[in-house]
Amino acid sequence: MPDPPMPSVLLVDDDDVAAEAVARGLHKHWVDYPIVIAEDGVTALQILRGAHATRRISKPYLVLLDLNMPRMGGIEFLRELRSDAGLRDTVVFVLTTSNAKADVKRAYQQHIAGYMVKSALGPQFCELARFLTEYRAAILFP
């Protein structure tokens, strides 16, 4: 059986330090997926729609989404994404600092693939790296 395709990751997070920490953590743990960073939901949608002036992402891809961002937050982004016929099957994992039950519920109502709290993912995001590696091996991308 051939190796599963290497997905690209769209990391949507307004905190530059947090986004860079996630990217460094994945690379440190040998998850060398191409990573594109978007600072909010508006920019993320532009990238996914191929309308951003400089940033592009190739298929297959998945989204790691923070919830609390300016301009367009995570839940608003999810609503827009799910209403777009060309993007509604996008695989999205929430990656946030919030473990509030209301946030978890609202995110799952938008058909996310999973909800992860940053502080629970181990030093330098080692658990996130392990999860993404196993996920890639176990699933087929849309």
Q: Scanning the structure block, which residue is given the tokens 């594109």?
A: 36
Partners of 115 in the beta sheet? 94
Classify domain 8-110 by CATH number. 3.40.50.2300
Measured CA to CA, the distance from residue 134 to residue 74 in angstroms comes to: 25
The tokens for 38 are 């978007």
Q: What is the dihedral of CA 129, 63, 49, 13, to 10 degrees?
A: -100
Q: Are 128 and 25 in contact (CB under 8 A)?
A: yes
Global confidence as pTM: 0.95
For residue 117 the two structure tokens come to 């709290």
Q: What is the pLDDT along the chain (142 residues), one digit of tens a residue?
A: 567 788 999 999 999 999 999 999 999 988 889 999 999 999 999 999 999 999 999 999 999 999 999 999 999 999 999 999 999 999 999 999 999 999 999 999 999 999 999 999 888 889 999 999 999 999 988 8
